[in-house]
């Protein structure tokens, strides 16, 4: 399957959701990684694909992001490809109807290894995240602040374009 077909399946799956999403404990993977979980995609891809679609920047051809600034640009470009509106936010800002909030983390200190992580705010205002590729979904409580040791990039409010 080519990248365009994968993106179409991701778009289709995120349009089927009612945002913000409810937290549901899952001890096995329900999505490919933290990125797919945070955006609400049910399209699951093997991490062994030649071009793993859920790598930050893969959807928008901004891969790999080598700095925190490039990582934020890659995230924003990926969301544009998916038809998701994004605005920079903060922890306190409430979400409006059909919006949800994500927390974005990034680390660029390793040579050729640019790690990222996302957590999402649930409908009840709690936070959750998928621990990694094909890993469990976990409840984080009132804040995503300690879910990873990566550097915090920011909070973003997302909304699917209708």
- Over the stretch 42-95, which tens digit does the pLDDT of each residue have? 898 866 677 889 999 999 999 888 889 999 999 999 999 999 999 999 999 999
Measured CA to CA, the distance from residue 123 to residue 84 in angstroms comes to: 18
- Over the stretch 122-146, which tens digit does the pLDDT of each residue have? 999 999 999 877 778 889 999 998 8
Q: Given this model, what pLDDT does residue 110 score? A: 60
Q: In which order are the strands placed within the sheet that holds 84-89? A: 84-89, 151-160, 99-110, 113-121, 127-130, 137-141
Structural domain of 32: 3-160
Q: Given this model, what pLDDT does residue 79 score? A: 98
Q: Give φ, ψ of 89 to 5 degrees.
A: -140, -165
User: What is the percent of the chain with per-residue pLDDT over 70, rounded to a whole number?
Assistant: 90
What total of structural domains would you count in the chain? 1
């Amino acid at each position: 399957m080519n990248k365009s077909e994968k993106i179409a399946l991701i778009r289709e799956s995120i349009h089927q959701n009612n945002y913000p999403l409810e937290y549901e404990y899952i001890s096995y993977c329900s999505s490919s990684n933290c990125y797919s979980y945070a955006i609400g995609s049910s399209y699951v891809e093997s991490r062994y694909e030649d071009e793993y679609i859920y790598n930050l920047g893969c959807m928008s051809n901004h891969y790999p992001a080598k700095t925190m600034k490039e990582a934020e640009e890659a995230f924003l470009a990926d969301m544009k490809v998916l038809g998701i509106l994004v605005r920079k936010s903060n922890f306190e800002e409430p979400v409006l109807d059909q919006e949800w909030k994500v927390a974005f983390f990034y680390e660029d200190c390793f040579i050729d290894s640019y790690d990222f992580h996302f957590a999402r705010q649930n409908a009840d205002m709690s936070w959750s995240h998928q621990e990694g590729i094909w890993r469990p979904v976990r409840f984080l409580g009132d804040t995503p602040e300690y879910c990873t040791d990566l550097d915090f990039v920011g909070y973003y409010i997302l909304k699917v374009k209708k």
